[in-house]
Chains A and B, each alone.
Chain A
Amino acid sequence: MTRAETFTKYILGFLTIFVVIALYAPIVLTIFYSFYKTRKGKVDWDSFSYEPYTKLIFEKQILESLVNSVYVGLVTVVFSVLIGFYFANYYHTHKGKMREFLQFVIFLPFLLPPIISGLALLIFFREVGLPRSLNTVVIGHTIFVLAIVYKIILNKLETLKPSLMESAYDLGANKLQAFWYVLLPNIKLSLVIAGLLAFTISLDETLITLFLIGDDTTWPIKLWAKMRVGFSKQVNASVTLILILTTTLVLLIAWIISKSEKKIMY
């Protein structure tokens, strides 16, 4: 190895470490500060406690907002995956100009600045007399994440050979059976990924939510409101909990998928 090569190697290695630290350090620090206190910039190693977590149970507002966010996220996932699959399948199996128009309509809300989408929806809901609530937030989030969900599912559908479904019909399967035994198992991973992404986007969506939410509050909006009056350990604790929750969720789903692929059907 020449000197220049060694040098490049070290530079690249250093860069990689730097990027990894830049990505994960804030997360690690957030978790860290949920357990330890700092005094004058120095960590007080004796201050370790679960207190912020136990206190969190009494922070009704944060907990409520968290429950609201999870509710909004889950309902958004269900609607966006169902609608996204329907449109992706329509685009995939039909020809003609209609499908291009449909795709444009799906992509538009995602491409527009969220502030425009939020405002437009707000005006719309006012005109039709729908009161603002968590449900209007669900509608807003579904419209917003639909483009991503749709695109992920469509990409997967386009990798499948047309003969796959044809052979299912050929072997006697009706549309429902072909969908259940052949199409669904082959696209389920993309559905899960799309759903997860929809959930995370919904979980931290703030701008559209601000316009559409009524008297309730979601987690990011609550956190934002809290930050304005100063940091609290409970904020760190709730972030840590969410982190653990989503990571376990991802690992669980990955495990289920790897298991189901080896299973024999009958």
Chain B
Amino acid sequence: MSSILELQNISKNYGSSVVLKDINLSIENNEFFTILGSSGSGKSTLLRIIGGFVKPSGGDLIFNSKVINEEPIFKRPFNTVFQDYALFPNMNVYNNIGFGLKIRKLDPKTITDKVEEVLSIVGLNDFKKRMPHELSGGQQQRVALARAIVCEPKVILLDEPLGALDAELRKQMQLFLKDIQKKIKTTFVFITHDQEEAIFLSDRIAVLNNHQFEQVGSPKELYYNPKSKYLASFFGECNLIDGTVDHINSDIITINTAFGKINVKNKYKNISQNQNVTFAIRPEQIFLNQNKDNNSFSTKVDRVEFKGAVTNIILNFPKNIKIKVQINNAEEQIAINENDQFNIYFDPNFGNLFVND
């Protein structure tokens, strides 16, 4: 794999308000890359900079080792799928999809062949004579995608394309997108505010927070090795336990918390004695009823939440600390009731420490 698109120190401000600062990114060829951020984080602006709709205030955009800052939109080998689909209301499905090819002055026979091929990829053969307003949201979305695919761009930019769809359709379209991307082997740069969607779809994710990338990595890296407390609770649920560093040796860091000492595997370089830290651990990484000398704590059950495949158990620790534990109902067949005494164990291999300023 080689890098197809690079962003170097890209920044954008409107007057005095900063939208993006020092964005550095390298997108590999044929990967499904997601830019994830909450609304107002600047993710759409970033995509629009790549697409050429917005000029960056600083930095370089590099495509195949060539700076393309000044390249106009219509010359960039990218195509965009817009959030509102942006289909041409005056053209039917067939003409919408063929538009990019017609502009390139391909002969009508080639256009027909390519459009028909893409129509069958997105499963809209029977709809080619429909006008956009005669299609459902999901169908319009597929036309928008087909219109981009047919141009055979090097990169397809998708600006929250599933944002306007209802939950059920959204799931279908996620699967559909993933399949298409595998089939046509093209780089996708996808934008969303939905973590689950990002994890499900992406090869790599960049999380945008406070105008900068908080972390770039695979879904697993982001989930299991978040670089900040923000990220730890941004992806899925996470217990955050405050403490101070008690002592450090080469393998283990011991921290003092409100309910006792916890040993954590030492994989950190920036942590020193007596520092204030937060220990972050996911509910499914906490184990129960394993009586060990260290890292084992007993307390009362506050609440039990049955969720079908899993059960969440919320435990009450001193100083009103609540710890959530998730158990797999297929594996653990035990009856747990409120106010039961309960034993949990933190495996030192799991969880992450974050230094608090």
Contact = CB atoms under 8 A, between A and B. Distances in A.
B92 interface: yes
Interface string B94-110: 11001110111000100
A264 B94 contact: yes
Interface stretch (B79-87, B172-180, B252-260): B79-87
Q: Of A166, A171, A181, A182, which is in contact with the most chain B CB atoms at under 10 Å from its CB?
A: A171
B15 interface: no
B88 A182 contact: yes
A260 to B, nearest CB: 9
Given A166-B82, A169-B73, A264 B92 contact: yes
Interface string B156-181: 00000000000000000000000000
Nearest to A165: B86
Interface string A155-175: 000000101101111111110
A261 B91 CA distance: 8
B111 interface: yes
A92 to B, nearest CB: 16
Nearest to B129: A264
A177 interface: yes
Contacts of B86: 161, 163-164, 166-167
Contacts, number: 71
Contacts of A170: 51, 73-74, 78-80
Contacts of B74: 169-174
Interface residues on A, range: 20 to 34
B53 A166 contact: yes
A91 B132 CA distance: 28
A171 B111 CA distance: 14
Nearest to A178: B74
A182 B90 contact: yes
Interface residues on B, range: 20 to 34
B150 to A, nearest CB: 9
A171 B100 contact: yes
Given A166-B73, A177-B103, A171 B89 contact: no
Contacts of A185: 88, 90
A172 B108 contact: no
A256 interface: no
A29 interface: no
B5 interface: no
A83 B346 CA distance: 75
Nearest to B97: A171
Given A167-B80, A264-B94, A265-B95, A172 B51 contact: no
B52 to A, nearest CB: 8
Nearest to A169: B73
B147 interface: yes
Contacts of B94: 264
Contacts of A186: 88-90
Interface in A235-266: 261, 264-266
Contacts of B88: 164, 167-168, 181-182, 185-186
Contacts of A168: 88, 99
Given A163-B84, A264-B95, A265-B102, A171 B79 contact: yes
B53 A171 contact: no
A261 B53 contact: no
Contacts of B83: 163
Given A163-B82, A261-B90, 8 more contacts: A161-B84, A161-B86, A167-B147, A170-B79, A171-B74, A173-B103, A174-B74, A177-B103
